[in-house]
Chains A and B, each alone.
Chain A
Amino acid sequence: MDLNVQQNNKGPIIEFAGVSKTYNSGTHALADVNIRISKGEFVFVVGSSGAGKSTFMKLIMREEKANSGQIKVNGFDLTKMPRKQIPMLRRTMGIVFQDFRLIPNMNVFDNVAFAMRVVGKPSRIIRKEVSKALSMVGLGHKARSMPNQLSGGEQQRVGLARALVNSPDLIIADEPTGNVDPNMSYEIVSLLSAINAKGTTILMVTHDHNLVRDFKHRVIMLDGGRIVADNAGGFEQ
């Protein structure tokens, strides 16, 4: 535990204090979660199906609201924040989807540019930043391709470029490697690690034990809505 503090002496970017989430259906998805993630960390979130991993991520991006406790993300107090503030919170984070969510009738460039256009960035900056993000994920040469001309791994790298392009402080990814083959999974986590090395905080849900073992990042394990393990340097096997 102390390792964490030692490893990251920067301020917190995510703080959960006594957070519980019960869905309207009555399911207790999270119970009394206390966690602190510092700026610049890379965190794997693991746990069996139904453990509450996606719920944890949705609370961070304020797609769901906690029933009790306090959540702070990037300086926003999510439990007190009005709905109108949600877009401002989201602009500080990049989101990677398991199902890629590329718009099929837009080429790679436009898919990435979309994330900038809809928050009103000027086109001069869009051109520059999109090219940068695409070369960062190694797809500079595929800018004019359509999504259906790409492999699953390439599509997810486009998704990664889109999450990156607005230079977020935090990237959250719920099973980003869930739909790609193992080799590609390594490539994607390597990319995320490279992005992390430049200072961006990464939060990634995964079921893939190999990834968690090979990339030595902090691991938070959920079970039945509670945090049951939190190891700074990967799995203690």
Chain B
Amino acid sequence: MRLGSAKYLFGEGVKNVWVNRLMTIASVGVLTACMVLIGLALLISFNVDKALGNLEQQNVVMVYFNDKNSVLYGDSAPILAEGETFDAKNITDSQFLVHNKEEALSIVNEIKGMDNVADATYVSKEEALESVKKTMLEGKEQYFEFLDEDGGNPLSDGARVKLSDMATFNETVEKIKAVSGVSTVQSQGELADVINSIKSGVGMAGVWIVLILLVISLVIVSNTIRVTMYNRKLEISIMKAVGATDGFIRVPFVVEGVAIGIISAIFAETLVYFCYRIATDTIMGSLGTSTIVSFSSKALLLLGVFVAIGVFAGVFGSIVMISKYLKKEGSEFSAI
């Protein structure tokens, strides 16, 4: 296409925006509203994600190994040969799997190598006892001195395992349980479930909101374009009569649609900024939380989303309308 025509077509499109300004204002208004809602929905879901992310980080499972203590204190069933009976006072080495630190460390390494495991550290039964004392027995140590006697520690060797993704939390726990030498896993599977359901709930709601608003945007833009088309019936009929291609006739309308979309995107970005600032000021003021997603970190992303929606609605809204109109045979010659 020649530069001259390109300039002409672009100019016509921009002119339409102005000539048709009442309709333009109305559709920019509605489109902006749609974008603002989408933007706020996105910001809410970013914040939910961030809040859940904080929870996830605390998500550590404790793994206990199948050692002598685990058999002795009943966490694991002893491994018995045929005809053998279990005697708590005389447990043989073959009745459990983890006998020393080397064996424990090799299991830790195996877990470390699994998918979705961020980290795994060895915790000896002595360390485990220390932490139990610190968290549960504080101030009553004198009653539990027997724990320090030889053979008085009932805890097993184990590992502290950090998972990376909540979505596959339960599967990972099952896999860890299946590792040879693992006796029990202490996890908060319910927390994972809650987090996952909140995430997918927010996600689904977001998708629906966005879809519905997109449809509204499309309808709005295509109606605006229809009004322009009606106003420019005469020009369109002459264009068709002198042999302008459908593509050429379409361009000014697409330009108009895109212009409406981009103007709306700029308004939406500004409005979302102010809405979000007011909202976060209020929330931070009352809750004192500092874990809110900052607007500036998402400003470009939001602008990108708004422009994408605007361009999408502008291009498709206008093309759908004008193509429907151009397909109709007639109207070039007969009275309009």
**Contacts from A to B (Cβ < 8 Å):** 54, 57-58, 61, 63-65, 86-91, 94-95, 97-99, 101, 103, 114-115, 117-120, 122-123, 162, 166, 174
What are the 7 closest A-B residue pairs judged by CB atoms, nearest first? A90-B243, A91-B243, A118-B244, A87-B243, A115-B242, A95-B241, A118-B239
Assembled-state Cα–Cα distance A198/B244 (Å): 26
CB distance from A44 to the nearest CB of B (A): 18
Assembled-state Cα–Cα distance A97/B246 (Å): 21
Interface size on B, residues (CB 8 A): 26
Please determine whether A61 and B332 come into contact, CB atoms closer than 8 angstroms. Answer: yes
Assembled-state Cα–Cα distance A94/B2 (Å): 23
Please determine whether A95 and B333 come into contact, CB atoms closer than 8 angstroms. Answer: yes
Assembled-state Cα–Cα distance A65/B249 (Å): 22
Q: Is B171 an interface residue (CB 8 A)?
A: no
- Tell me which of A54, A58, A114 contacts B238 (CB under 8 A): A114
- Tell me which of A64, A120, A122 contacts B330 (CB under 8 A): A64
Residue among A88, A90, A91 with most chain B CB within 10 A: A90
Residues of B within 8 A of A98 (CB): 335
| 27 A-B interface contacts by CB (under 8 A) | A54-B333, A57-B333, A58-B334, A64-B329, A64-B330, A86-B243, A87-B244, A90-B240, A90-B241, A90-B243, A95-B241, A95-B332, A95-B333, A98-B335, A99-B335, A103-B234, A103-B235, A114-B238, A114-B242, A115-B238, A118-B238, A118-B248, A119-B248, A120-B1, A120-B2, A120-B5, A162-B242
Please determine whether A174 and B5 come into contact, CB atoms closer than 8 angstroms. Answer: no
15 more CB-based (< 8 A) A-B contacts, given A54-B334, A87-B240, A118-B238 = A61-B333, A63-B332, A89-B243, A90-B241, A95-B332, A97-B333, A103-B235, A114-B235, A115-B242, A117-B4, A118-B239, A118-B249, A123-B4, A162-B242, A174-B333
Please determine whether A119 and B244 come into contact, CB atoms closer than 8 angstroms. Answer: yes
Please determine whether B245 and A87 come into contact, CB atoms closer than 8 angstroms. Answer: yes
CB distance from A166 to the nearest CB of B (A): 7
- Tell me which of B243, B330, B332 contacts A119 (CB under 8 A): B243
Residues of B within 8 A of A61 (CB): 241, 332-333
Minimum CB distance partner of A99 in chain B? B335
Assembled-state Cα–Cα distance A20/B52 (Å): 73
Please determine whether B234 and A90 come into contact, CB atoms closer than 8 angstroms. Answer: no
> How many A-B residue pairs lie within 8 Å, measured between CB atoms?
77
Assembled-state Cα–Cα distance A166/B238 (Å): 14
Residues of B within 8 A of A119 (CB): 242-244, 248
Residues of B within 8 A of A88 (CB): 243
Minimum CB distance partner of A88 in chain B? B243
Please determine whether A166 and B329 come into contact, CB atoms closer than 8 angstroms. Answer: no
**Contacts from B to A (Cβ < 8 Å):** 1-2, 4-5, 8, 234-235, 237-246, 248-249, 329-330, 332-336
Please determine whether A63 and B1 come into contact, CB atoms closer than 8 angstroms. Answer: no
CB distance from A191 to the nearest CB of B (A): 19
Residues of A within 8 A of B336 (CB): 101
Residues of B within 8 A of A115 (CB): 238, 242
Residues of A within 8 A of B240 (CB): 87, 90
Assembled-state Cα–Cα distance A174/B335 (Å): 11
Minimum CB distance partner of A94 in chain B? B242
Minimum CB distance partner of A174 in chain B? B333
Residues of B within 8 A of A122 (CB): 2, 4
- Tell me which of B248, B249, B333 contacts A120 (CB under 8 A): B248
Residues of B within 8 A of A57 (CB): 333
Please determine whether B238 and A103 come into contact, CB atoms closer than 8 angstroms. Answer: yes
CB distance from B23 to the nearest CB of A (A): 18
Residues of B within 8 A of A89 (CB): 243
A54-B334, A63-B330, A99-B335 known; A117-B5 Cβ under 8 A: yes
Assembled-state Cα–Cα distance A160/B11 (Å): 27
Minimum CB distance partner of B6 in chain A? A120
- Tell me which of B1, B8, B246 contacts A117 (CB under 8 A): B8
Minimum CB distance partner of B326 in chain A? A83
Assembled-state Cα–Cα distance A39/B279 (Å): 76
Assembled-state Cα–Cα distance A162/B244 (Å): 14
Residues of B within 8 A of A91 (CB): 242-243
Assembled-state Cα–Cα distance A94/B243 (Å): 10
CB distance from A152 to the nearest CB of B (A): 16
Residues of B within 8 A of A64 (CB): 329-330
CB distance from A119 to the nearest CB of B (A): 6
CB distance from B307 to the nearest CB of A (A): 29
Assembled-state Cα–Cα distance A64/B248 (Å): 22
Residue among A61, A94, A97 with most chain B CB within 10 A: A97
Please determine whether A90 and B238 come into contact, CB atoms closer than 8 angstroms. Answer: no
Residues of B within 8 A of A174 (CB): 333
Minimum CB distance partner of B232 in chain A? A103
- Tell me which of A101, A118, A162 contacts B234 (CB under 8 A): A101
CB distance from A179 to the nearest CB of B (A): 11
Residues of B within 8 A of A86 (CB): 243
CB distance from A145 to the nearest CB of B (A): 18
Residue among B4, B5, B242, B329 with most chain A CB within 10 A: B242
Residues of B within 8 A of A118 (CB): 238-239, 242, 244, 248-249
CB distance from B157 to the nearest CB of A (A): 78
